[in-house]
Amino acid sequence: MQNYDVVIIGAGAAGLFCAAEAGKRGRSVLVIDHAKRLGGKILMSGGGRCNFTNMYASPENFLSQNPHFCKSALSQYTQWDFIALVNDYKIAYHEKTLGQLFCDDSAKQIVDLLLAECKKAKVVIKNRTEISAVSVLESGYQVLTAGGDFECESLVIATGGLSMPKLGATPFGYKIAEQFSIPIVPTRAALVPFTLHEHDKEVISELSGISVDARATCNNTSFNENILFTHRGLSGPAVLQISSYWKPGQEVSFDLFPNGDLEGNLKLAQASTPELLMSNCLSKHYPKRFIQSALDYYKLPNKPLKQYNHKELSQVAEAFTNWQIKPNGTEGYRTAEVTLGGVDTDYLSSKTMEVKRQKGLFFIGEVVDVTGWLGGYNFQWAWSSGFVAGRVC
Ligand SMILES: Cc1cc2nc3c(=O)[nH]c(=O)nc-3n(C[C@H](O)[C@H](O)[C@H](O)COP(=O)(O)OP(=O)(O)OC[C@H]3O[C@@H](n4cnc5c(N)ncnc54)[C@H](O)[C@@H]3O)c2cc1C
């Protein structure tokens, strides 16, 4: 039996960050992970460049049964604190869009930063290690693994959500919560592409590869980014964002002219260029292949603008600005970036992430019922929740 002050299960973003913070306080820290590669999700993130935070991160960018829960951790360790750390390591980065910060070079720089911080803090990391059981002792916790048994005063669960099982995701954290009678807010795949009913899929798969600007709306929430038609359904940032708010059976509406007045534009064009074909007029705004499919889908004619009466012009504008579609599902955890739901925050201290009625047990990162928007928010939650636990565990 080996003794540590702190054992952290999960060497992802939250676990490694928490480990370094606890180690800096002089705590002896062991991090255990079953994966071969450390920080697998970080390496895959942001298309290999890791969108490590967002300049505008605030509690409004997170979903949770208790929307106030994330406030304390996010204010104790902000995006500016992480940006300062990235600057200390001289990692070059840029804002891609909407405050999203990406490494110029590679996501590996963020993994290297975390490992360097852990090394400085004398953290011991054991990967490729399966955990068989966790139990409570009088003085703390016991963790039994294929690579030896460990005792610790504080146990931190940082095993993430269910998305991307091929990167090592498991329900381990939820099982530990259940072992301690902590409820789980029902989980589902989020930041995930939509799949479509057969007749929509036939039309949309022909548009595969086309991307257009859109405002996606569902349940009174809207995102103004682009959408991507794929051979399986709908993807792109606006779709991923709205998928977190969508529930099975609901419709999503897309305004494909999100930054202006399409009907007004068509009326002006009708007056100034009456001989212009509708498809040629719309081609100022959309790819040609997309226009023909959209007109066919709505059974709208393609003729010179002067031949449209007022009602028909409105119908064309309506088709492009209020496209309603009912997804038949999502691609699920296989491609989802995150998991919605998780460990019920009512049972955790928002200041420290410690379980209220179980001294020394902590849950951090994605395993908790706090889920960020697309755009660096989920890593910020991993850093902030890892930091506050690392200060006290
Ligand atoms: C493809 C992809 C791209 C993403 N891009 C971004 C992005 O650019 N910006 C952003 O903010 N967010 C992004 N995310 C989301 C972000 O990666 C996660 O929210 C974040 O990694 C969560 O951190 P975590 O430490 O809680 O969990 P994870 O990073 O998932 O780490 C959990 C760790 O626990 C280990 N583990 C799990 N089960 C066990 C077990 N039974 N025994 C031992 N170890 C176990 C896993 O191997 C893993 O190492 C992306 C996600 C994906 C899938």
**Which residues, listed in sequence order, are joined to residue 338 by a DSSP beta bridge?**
190
Please state, as a whole number, how many other Cβ atoms lie within 10 Å of the Cβ of residue 268. 11
Give mean pLDDT, residues 222-239. Answer: 96
Give mean pLDDT, residues 46-62. Answer: 98
Residue 379's nearest CA partner among 50, 114, 118 is 50
The whole-number pLDDT of residue 154 equals 98
360 pocket-lining for ligand 1 (C-beta < 6 Å): no
Q: Which of 337, 343, 353 to mutate to test the pocket of ligand 1 (most atoms within 8 A of CB)?
A: 337
Helices (H) and strands (E) in the chain, counts: 13, 21
Give mean pLDDT, residues 219-247. Answer: 97
Q: Is the pLDDT of residue 203 over 90?
A: no
210 pocket-lining for ligand 1 (C-beta < 6 Å): no
The whole-number pLDDT of residue 337 equals 97
Give mean pLDDT, residues 320-336. Answer: 96
Q: Which residues of 1-38 are buried (b: 16+ CB within 10 A; e: fewer)?
A: eeebbbbbbbbbbbbbbbbbbbbbeebbbbbbbbbeeb
Residue 39's nearest CA partner among 98, 118, 137 is 118
What atom in ligand 1 is closest to the CA of residue 167? 47
One-letter amino acid of 327: P
Average pLDDT, the chain: 97
CA 11 to centroid of ligand 1, rounded, Å: 9
258 pocket-lining for ligand 1 (C-beta < 6 Å): no
Q: Is the pLDDT of residue 63 over 90?
A: yes
CA 391 to centroid of ligand 1, rounded, Å: 21
State the pairing for strand pair 29-32/124-126.
Answer: parallel
The whole-number pLDDT of residue 297 equals 87
* pTM (two decimals): 0.97
Q: Check the CA dihedral 269-270-274-279 and report its sign.
A: positive
The whole-number pLDDT of residue 182 equals 98
Identify the DSSP state of 36: S
Q: ∠267-313-252 over CA atoms, to 5°?
A: 115
Q: Which of 94, 131, 159 to mutate to test the pocket of ligand 1 (most atoms within 8 A of CB)?
A: 159
CA 192 to centroid of ligand 1, rounded, Å: 15
CA 275 to centroid of ligand 1, rounded, Å: 56
CA 254 to centroid of ligand 1, rounded, Å: 30
Please state, as a whole number, how many other Cβ atoms lie within 10 Å of the Cβ of residue 90. 7
Q: Is the pLDDT of residue 215 over 90?
A: yes
Q: Is the pLDDT of residue 348 over 90?
A: yes
Question: Tens of pLDDT along 285-308?
Answer: 999 999 999 998 889 999 999 999
Question: Tens of pLDDT along 69-103?
Answer: 999 999 999 999 999 999 999 999 999 999 999 99
Question: Tens of pLDDT along 252-264?
Answer: 999 999 999 999 9
- For residue 75, CA distances in Å to 63, 344, 365 come to 17, 20, 15
Please state, as a whole number, how many other Cβ atoms lie within 10 Å of the Cβ of residue 96. 15
Q: Which residues of 196-226 are buried (b: 16+ CB within 10 A; e: fewer)?
A: beeebbeebeebeebbbbbbbbbeeebbbbb
What atom in ligand 1 is closest to the CA of residue 160? 27
Question: Tens of pLDDT along 148-198?
Answer: 999 999 999 999 999 999 889 999 999 999 999 999 999 999 999 999 999
62 pocket-lining for ligand 1 (C-beta < 6 Å): no
